[in-house]
Structure 1
Amino acid sequence: MSKRNKKHQEHEEHADESWLLPYSDLMTLLLALFIVLFGMSSIDAQKFEEMSEAFKSVLTGGTSVLDQNAMTSNTNTSMTEGDNDTAKSSELMNQKNQLMRQEQENLEALKKQLDDYIKKNGLVDMLDTKLNQSQLMITISDNALFPSGEAEVKPDARILAKAIATMLQEFPDYEVIVSGHTDNIPISNHEFASNWDLSSVRALNFMKILLLNDKLDPKKFSAIGYGEYHPVASNETNVGRAQNRRVEVSIIRKYQEGDQQIGMPATH
């Protein structure tokens, strides 16, 4: 065989095979794609996420189509949840506003009953009512309820307590706080060692008469003695001291602005 023919045969035996490399890469990518598509119908969410990450790395190292779909799904879910939360919040606010309006009507009706009773029985100088953002308060002068320096409720005051209890029974769900107050003149006798003792026993005794009405729930009632420490007027005059000697019956609101429920009467 001639030298020329031998070179020709060597050239044919070593033909250019560089096209195999991109071909094998393409086959690898197609195989990965088919595996992922097959797995979408049968694997759980965690495995799907792992497969998505692997496929992303094989392709470009960037965000894959699968990740984009997942992100879109998460965004739609978040938007739906946000809309639901907004709707629930709006519904709760409407319910609260309705309850607040109903409560305002209830307390206004109770105040009117009390005011009518006070006028009818000539008690304007001894009783007063006030409705504010935290409570409906009934203020009763001490001389309408007790002898001077004592805590035993007068017989006439018992009639008043029973009348108040009858009105309260129409609103059984409200918390009621009975508080006793004195002036700053010290008291010390065989029965009471201080104004705190006197105010506490007075509040307790008046509350007990209210609770003679068995339609009232004792769990809703409490008695507090404030002594001389919550005055509403100056203790420098007889008139001021008389105003400070009092018992207050506070019907506490359940619904207020800011979702705050007051558990104690306002500071006086």
Structure 2
Amino acid sequence: MLNAKGDELLGDAHKSLKAELERSAEQGGDTHYQTVRRAVEAPKHPMGRQLVDSVKSTTSKIRSQLYGLVQASQRTGNRNRRSGKRLDTRSLHRVVAGDTRVFRSPVERQRPNTAVHILVDMSGSMRRIVSSEAQGKTREQVARESALALALALEPIPGVNPAVTYFCGDSSQPVFSVVKHGENVLNQSGRFMLGSRGNTPMAEAIWYAAYELSKTREDRKVMIVVTDGQPNRVAPCQAVIDLCERSEIEMVGIGVETSAVSSLFQKNIVIDDAAELQRTLFRLMERSLTASAA
């Protein structure tokens, strides 16, 4: 390492990932997964505002809870030092033992500084009706409402940069952008109405999301993949997941009534019913944001 030239040293993991993805896009090969796909913007539907109204109560609850947790984890703490202007009277007993760390000094904790990309499977199987708990809704309705509620809740939290992408259709049209990083979620609410169709081009969607995450400024990158089935192509899907994990993108798979995610993602959650998706996403982000703010 001491004798290595500048161009031989390992650079920033996220910059390396971006360069690797750009090389893949320029090179020939199987376009089903080796090329970084361009997402088509999901069309805006006029029912988007009604969807926002339907999740308003849930969004408000999630936002207040997440915001409160982040604020609590960011509260200024104190550390004892050997010099300073403020005595910590509770630590004066240390002087007897020769420990002069009796001055109190504030310690600022960092904000989350996290980019979150939520990938939602909108393949044909998402049309299935879920349990009575979800009042006869389909999987796609539950997934759509959960993704919107979480994105709206995350957006106002300082240091959090959410995005949502759907994957469905086929290899020629696999990825649909719902909310890009930095976009206003409310303004894109109509795009959440895109319906389920086709199969499960998960590898293409992860390539796209990884490239989008590599362009964000946030230090921490999190990708959450929600699916109810197996990807069209397992081997390339595993390859891009491994690349993301080596490049310090935190990958989490949520399987809706499928354990296929357990063989793809080191961090995975399997839920028995789509009705559990909203609670699962909330708990996942609750742990993630408070851990990153600590």
Interval of TM-score (by shorter of Structure 1 and Structure 2): under 0.3
TM-score of the superposed pair, with normalisation by structure 2:
0.25
Q: Specify which structure has the higher proportion of strand.
A: 2
**Higher Cα Rg: structure 1 or 2?**
1
By relative contact order (CA 8 Å, sep 6+), the higher-ranking structure is 2
TM-score of the superposed pair, with normalisation by structure 1:
0.27
Q: Specify which structure has the higher proportion of helix.
A: 1
